[in-house]
């Protein structure tokens, strides 16, 4: 059977124009050369054998697995609920059980979205969304060159669409991809579609951000030494100043993590400074594994973003203390409930503590104390997911009848048992 | 099962009952005047010394959707300063100014509210807004979909589309977004801001090739033609600008006699007189409301203290960003549809402007004669958190209390307002109109806001007290669809409300140009943009109640 307008939850763009063929439990994109084809094929279940729940690698009934999981959770003093690579309903139910357990909940990539959130918390933001960029941006500046690896269809769907609502400037927009050179030489590579890749002779990617900010704040005449790097950024500033709608795009994980927050703040301050006269906006693109989905749910249900700790009886956000991955590394959790049912590779980190995995049916979770294979949102059951720009929420369809349990229902049963 | 409420003093303006003592019965969640032989009486509540009203309805409160989450993130301090522990029946939460969803539902119920309406549902963000509302327990809810800055409509207007085609689009959008009304925010202005235009007046041509006046005229006509009970809900142009009362009057006129609701009108009632070039135009605005029966308004009263302003109006939020306190602000352009601006704000009683804003809100309340057309709101959280409603009711009902507060605000503001000379005091009957009967009527909720036979048994019982603020803050009993949910101001049982929607009929042919527009320009497909009824229940988590169109002939 072929399904149209299927949403792909495997990156934060949530493209929803896919045609998917389903035969029994095999899932394939109609276009096998599609950049997202391999993500979908990952959901196929070989030889139509539905994987069963396991305790320490041995097959058991779902009830037995849930009982064992509840026992582990009941015994834990500091349970950690992590992963959260899943749809909204599962995140909602994960919040509910974490609250009941008095545990900590975080997303596997929680750290990657905290930098943007912290800047929002401290100074606010000037932001835009995907359709707005697609139709209005006439100048795009991207910090770092790894973005299209993480968001395979960014150029096709957002930056270089066939048609726009804008004028000629939008249809012939200029795109600058800024990065540092590895060989100590400044160079510009001009390509098709007005795309310029500029490699600066700077030690760090963030140096570009800070030099550009300096230029924006001081304006050209006050910059003393002008080398190739600076001249190029002066020219870029000139282009931005003469554009209708400049969009600055970044992925915080490309910045040095120790100072990413300050770097994002510098970008935001630059945008706000420019806004006094012209339109300029930011588009942070980080979410590639449902981080936004999990964070939005946590924020509306508790008033605070991830991580959320319930030890005191009320929800507390203290990322320094409750970062999920750091808690695991520092042995600060005594039990892990790992939820990840979008992709088989999102396995739980290695850990010595008892761990319960509600995971993708093709996941290798032999080391888990309890493993319950779950249906895949958008394949085995309906769901909802938030896009990287934090505005659009898209529906995920049900494409096949696998009878795999829905992770959110498992969490509800588990909540009754703990 | 049946329950009996006996001995209470009933305020039910929909049936012109003004403080008459009589019994009420509740059978299967509905109000009944008497019991039949089959009804088994389970509980009797003795309500001597009590006041009985229908459950209150807030027709304008920002409690769901992306901008609220932005506000929560920006007000992290407030969240942590106001933690709400959970219990066997309650989920925990945080926040006073922008509470988490469960907490918002609990606080509303504790004040005797049984329905709340989110007034700014961005169509592309409608799923999230509905999920947040679904996670807001205790109360019924609904949303107004934002139109009037979306490229699709602006293109239709510029290209001279027929009113019928526009009506089809409006009805299609209501269906797709599961909303109960249409709101326009700074018509054309949010769109113009994307083209770096910083102001747009009612009769000014915007970059989309239309004037705000045309947008309001077209949309108010569409809402009327489609038989949508709630009039076009309008956040007028030039919010917060001294002298904007003229814009507000022009906006009322743009509806050309058709029903129009002006929201948070306090922020749109400013003159330019006096030393500060900022003055009250409440008198002019109230007079216009009094003289134009097609106009209704909610006030958007401010209260002194810290809050955060969340609005779709990027243009005017950016205009006001220098006043942010603490110093941080967010603006966002959204999906060729709308925008949002989120700015923390501290209203200070010793500030001339803030003190006068406070007075202007009250002047409007006191000078609009018809309580059926003026609504009690703080535009939560923009003027103040909704939890300040009991205080606001006291300001309206108690002149000496009002004047005592007024005496300590900025002296210049006292001279600039004639508030102290206004001796009107709202009666309980009038409060029942503006918080119950009138909002139900203007939203088309026929089974809400009254205590007549067959109404949903949403009932709030207050124990009579000298201090009216205390009385309204902690009802003795609140019933939601017949279930006792609050006793002595504390939640005793949690319930899940429904989502109220309208689905006027339209010609499906409108989907042809819409499909082309979505395919050519949008980043989501037409099919996935639409929220189906079963998605509301199965994925979003709320039942819906569809209200019929009204006849406007
Ligand atoms: Zn509002």
- Whether residue B196 lies within 8 A of chain A, CB to CB, comes out as yes
In which element (H, E) is residue A220 found? none
Q: Does A317 share its domain with A408? A: yes
Which residues in chain A are contacts of B124 at CB distance < 8 A?
Answer: 129, 131, 391-392
Contact A129 B334 (CB under 8 A): yes
Last residue of a domain, one of A230, A253, A284: A284
Condensed to tens digits (0 to 9), the pLDDT of residues A322-344 reads 999 999 999 999 999 999 999 99
Q: What's the confidence (pLDDT) of residue B488? A: 97
Q: Does A87 share its domain with A101? A: yes
Cα–Cα distance between B453 and B34 in angstroms, integer?
A: 9
User: How many angstroms is it from B62 CA to the middle of ligand 1?
Assistant: 6
Which CATH number belongs to the domain containing residue A298 in this structure? 3.40.50.740
Which residue among B64, B94, B336 places its CB closest to the CB of A302? B94
Q: Which of residues 70-89 of B touch A (CB under 8 A)?
A: 70, 72-74, 76, 79-80, 83-86
Q: Does A138 share its domain with A270? A: yes
Which residues are bridge partners to B94 per DSSP? Answer: B83
Note whether residue B252 is domain-resident: yes
Chain A, nearest residue to B343 by Cα = A124
Q: Which of residues 375-434 of B touch A (CB under 8 A)?
A: none
Note whether residue A17 is domain-resident: no
Which CATH number belongs to the domain containing residue B208 in this structure? 3.20.20
Note whether residue A132 is domain-resident: yes
Contact A244 B195 (CB under 8 A): yes
Angle formed at CA B25 by CA B59 and CA B2, multiple of 5 degrees: 110
Per DSSP, the residues of A372-383 read EE-PPBTTTB-E
Last residue of a domain, one of A261, A284, A307: A284
Contact B69 A296 (CB under 8 A): yes
Q: Does A241 share its domain with A300? A: no
Which residues in chain B are contacts of A5 at CB distance < 8 A?
Answer: 525, 527-528
- Strands A246-250 and A139-143 turn out to be parallel
Contact A131 B523 (CB under 8 A): yes
In which element (H, E) is residue B401 found? helix B399-406
Contact A393 B125 (CB under 8 A): yes
Instruction: Tell me the average pLDDT of chain B.
Output: 97
Last residue of a domain, one of A284, A313, A331: A284
- Is the pLDDT at B170 greater than 80? The verdict is yes
Note whether residue B419 is domain-resident: yes
Contact A164 B334 (CB under 8 A): no
Per residue in A320-344, is it b (16+ CB within 10 Å) or e — as a string?
eebbbbbbbeeeebebbbbbbbbbb
Which residues in chain B are contacts of A392 at CB distance < 8 A?
Answer: 124-125, 335, 523-524
A242 lies in which domain range? Answer: 113-284
Condensed to tens digits (0 to 9), the pLDDT of residues B20-38 reads 999 999 999 999 989 988 8
Contact B333 A281 (CB under 8 A): yes
B161: number of Cβ within 10 Å: 16
ipTM for this model: 0.97
Q: Does A135 share its domain with A222? A: yes
Note whether residue A371 is domain-resident: yes
Note whether residue B365 is domain-resident: yes
Q: What's the confidence (pLDDT) of residue A220? A: 62
Q: Are B355 and B349 in contact (CB under 8 A)?
A: yes
Contact B72 A303 (CB under 8 A): yes
- Is the pLDDT at B447 greater than 60? The verdict is yes
Residues of chain A with pLDDT > 70: what percent?
Answer: 99
Q: Does A302 share its domain with A251? A: no
Note whether residue B394 is domain-resident: no
A276: number of Cβ within 10 Å: 7
Cα–Cα distance between B236 and B356 in angstroms, integer?
A: 20
Note whether residue B13 is domain-resident: no
Q: What's the confidence (pLDDT) of residue B288? A: 98
Note whether residue B399 is domain-resident: no
- Shortest CA distance to B342 belongs to which of B357, B326, B328, B323? B328
- Is the pLDDT at B328 greater than 70? The verdict is yes
Q: Does A368 share its domain with A260? A: no
Q: Does A137 share its domain with A212? A: yes
Count of domains forming chain B: 1
Note whether residue B464 is domain-resident: no
Condensed to tens digits (0 to 9), the pLDDT of residues B481-503 reads 999 999 999 999 999 999 999 99
Q: What's the confidence (pLDDT) of residue B1? A: 80
Q: What's the confidence (pLDDT) of residue A221? A: 67
| Range from A212-221, B361-370, B532-541 carrying the lowest mean pLDDT | A212-221
- Whether residue B539 lies within 8 A of chain A, CB to CB, comes out as yes
Condensed to tens digits (0 to 9), the pLDDT of residues B62-88 reads 999 999 999 999 999 999 999 999 999
> Residue A46: CB partners within 8 Å, gap ≥ 6?
none
Angle formed at CA A149 by CA A148 and CA A151, multiple of 5 degrees: 55
Q: What's the confidence (pLDDT) of residue A148? A: 85
- Whether residue B326 lies within 8 A of chain A, CB to CB, comes out as no
Note whether residue A253 is domain-resident: yes
Note whether residue A375 is domain-resident: yes
Q: Are A98 and A347 in contact (CB under 8 A)?
A: no
Residues in chain A predicted with pLDDT less than 70, given as ranges, are: 220-221
- Is the pLDDT at B16 greater than 80? The verdict is yes
The answer to whether the peptide bond before residue B470 is cis (omega within 30 degrees of 0) is no
Condensed to tens digits (0 to 9), the pLDDT of residues B292-317 reads 999 999 999 999 999 999 999 999 99
Which CATH number belongs to the domain containing residue A207 in this structure? 3.40.228
Which residue among B68, B74, B332 places its CB closest to the CB of A121? B74
Q: What's the confidence (pLDDT) of residue B553? A: 57
Which residue among A7, A126, A300 places its CB closest to the CB of B100? A300
Note whether residue A4 is domain-resident: no
Q: Which of residues 208-227 of B touch A (CB under 8 A)?
A: none
- Shortest CA distance to B41 belongs to which of B25, B22, B24, B23? B25
B357 lies in which domain range? Answer: 56-105+113-382+406-443
Contact B523 A299 (CB under 8 A): no
Which residue among A278, A304, A384 places its CB closest to the CB of B539? A384
- Is the pLDDT at B226 greater than 60? The verdict is yes
Note whether residue A205 is domain-resident: yes
Count of domains forming chain A: 2
Q: What's the confidence (pLDDT) of residue A127? A: 97
Note whether residue A22 is domain-resident: no
């Amino acid at each position: 059977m072929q399904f149209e307008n299927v949403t792909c939850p495997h990156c934060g763009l949530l493209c929803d124009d896919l045609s998917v063929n389903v035969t029994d439990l095999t899932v394939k994109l109609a276009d096998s050369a599609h950049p997202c084809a391999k993500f979908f094929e990952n959901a196929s279940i070989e030889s139509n054998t539905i994987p069963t729940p396991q305790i320490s690698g041995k097959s058991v009934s779902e009830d037995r697995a849930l009982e064992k999981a509840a026992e582990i959770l009941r015994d834990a003093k500091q349970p950690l609920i992590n992963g959260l690579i899943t749809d909204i309903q599962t995140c909602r139910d994960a919040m509910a059980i974490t609250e009941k357990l008095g545990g900590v909940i975080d997303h596997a990539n929680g750290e990657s979205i905290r930098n943007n959130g912290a800047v929002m918390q401290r100074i606010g933001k000037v932001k835009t969304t995907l359709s707005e960029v697609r139709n209005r941006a006439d100048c795009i500046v991207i910090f770092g060159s790894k973005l299209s690896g993480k968001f395979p269809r960014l150029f096709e769907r957002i930056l270089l669409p066939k048609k726009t609502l804008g004028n000629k400037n939008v249809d012939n927009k200029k795109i600058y991809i800024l990065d540092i050179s590895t060989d100590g030489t400044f160079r510009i590579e001009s390509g098709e579609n007005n795309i310029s890749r500029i490699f600066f002779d700077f030690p760090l990617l963030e140096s570009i951000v800070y030099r550009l900010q300096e230029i924006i704040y001081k304006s050209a005449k006050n910059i003393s030494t002008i080398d190739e790097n600076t001249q190029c950024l002066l020219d870029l500033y000139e282009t931005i100043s003469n554009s209708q709608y400049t969009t600055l795009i970044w992925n915080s994980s490309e910045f040095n993590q120790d100072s990413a927050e300050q770097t994002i703040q510098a970008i935001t301050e630059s945008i706000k400074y420019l806004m006094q006269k012209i339109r300029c906006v930011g588009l942070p693109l980080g979410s590639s594994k449902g981080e936004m989905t999990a964070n939005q749910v946590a924020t509306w249900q508790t008033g605070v973003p991830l991580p959320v700790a319930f030890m005191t009886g009320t929800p507390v956000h203290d990322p320094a203390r409750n970062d999920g991955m750091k808690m695991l590394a520092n042995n600060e959790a005594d039990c892990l409930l790992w939820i990840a049912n979008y992709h088989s590779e999102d396995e739980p980190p290695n850990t010595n503590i008892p761990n319960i995995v509600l995971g993708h049916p093709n996941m290798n979770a032999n080391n888990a104390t309890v493993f319950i294979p779950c249906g895949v949102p958008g394949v085995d059951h309906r769901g909802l997911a938030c896009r990287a720009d934090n505005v659009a929420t898209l529906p995920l369809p049900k494409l096949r009848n696998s009878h795999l349990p829905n992770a959110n229902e498992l969490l509800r049963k588990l909540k009754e048992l703990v | 099962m049946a329950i009996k409420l006996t001995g209470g003093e009933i305020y039910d303006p929909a049936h012109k009952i003004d403080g008459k003592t009589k019994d009420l019965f509740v059978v299967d969640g509905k109000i009944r005047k008497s019991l039949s032989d089959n009804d088994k009486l389970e509980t009797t509540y003795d309500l001597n010394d009590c006041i009985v009203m229908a459950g209150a309805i807030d027709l304008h409160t920002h409690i769901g959707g992306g901008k609220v989450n932005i506000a929560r993130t920006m007000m992290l301090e407030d969240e942590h300063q106001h933690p709400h522990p959970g219990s066997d029946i309650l989920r925990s939460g945080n926040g006073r100014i922008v509470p988490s969803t469960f907490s918002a539902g609990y606080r509303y119920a504790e004040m005797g509210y049984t329905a709340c309406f989110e007034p700014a549902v961005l169509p592309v963000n409608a799923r999230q807004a509905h999920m947040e509302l679904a996670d807001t327990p205790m109360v019924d809810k609904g949303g107004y979909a934002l139109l009037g800055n979306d490229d699709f409509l602006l293109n239709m207007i510029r290209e001279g589309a027929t009113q019928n085609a526009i009506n089809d689009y409006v009805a299609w959008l209501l269906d797709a977004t599961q909303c109960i009304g249409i709101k326009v925010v700074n018509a054309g202005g949010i769109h113009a801001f994307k083209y770096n235009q910083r102001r747009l007046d009612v009769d000014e041509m915007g970059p989309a090739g239309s004037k705000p006046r045309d947008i309001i005229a077209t949309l108010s006509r569409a809402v009327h033609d489609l038989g949508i009970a709630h009039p076009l809900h309008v956040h007028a142009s030039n919010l917060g600008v001294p002298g904007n009362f003229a814009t507000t009057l022009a906006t009322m006129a743009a509806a050309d006699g058709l029903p129009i609701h002006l929201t948070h009108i306090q922020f749109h009632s400013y003159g330019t007189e006096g030393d500060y070039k900022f003055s009250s135009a409440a008198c002019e605005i109230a007079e216009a409301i009094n003289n134009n029966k097609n106009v209704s308004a909610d006030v958007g009263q401010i209260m002194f203290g810290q809050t955060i302003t969340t609005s779709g109006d990027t243009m005017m939020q950016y205009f006001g960003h220098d006043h942010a306190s603490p110093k941080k602000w967010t603006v966002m352009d959204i999906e060729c549809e709308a925008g949002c601006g989120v700015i923390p704000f501290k209203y200070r009683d010793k500030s001339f402007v803030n003190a006068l804003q406070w007075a202007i809100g009250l002047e409007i309340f006191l000078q609009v004669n018809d309580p059926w057309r003026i609504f009690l709101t703080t535009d939560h959280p923009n003027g103040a958190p909704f939890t300040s409603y009991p205080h606001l009711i006291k300001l309206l009902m108690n002149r000496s209390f009002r004047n005592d507060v007024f005496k300590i605000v900025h002296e210049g503001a006292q001279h600039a307002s004639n508030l102290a000379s206004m001796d009107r005091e709202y009666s309980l009957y009038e409060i029942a109109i503006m918080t119950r009967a009138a909002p139900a009527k203007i939203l088309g909720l026929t089974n809400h806001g009254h205590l007549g036979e067959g109404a949903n048994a949403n009932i709030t019982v207050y124990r009579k007290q000298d201090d009216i603020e205390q009385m309204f803050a902690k009802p003795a009993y609140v019933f939601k669809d017949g279930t006792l949910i609050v006793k002595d101001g504390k939640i005793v049982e949690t319930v899940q409300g429904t989502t109220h929607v309208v689905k006027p009929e339209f010609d499906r042919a409108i989907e042809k140009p819409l499909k082309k527009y979505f395919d050519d320009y949008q980043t989501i497909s037409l099919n996935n943009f639409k929220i189906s009824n079963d998605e509301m229940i199965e994925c979003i988590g709320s039942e819906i109640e569809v209200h019929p169109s009204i006849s406007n002939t």
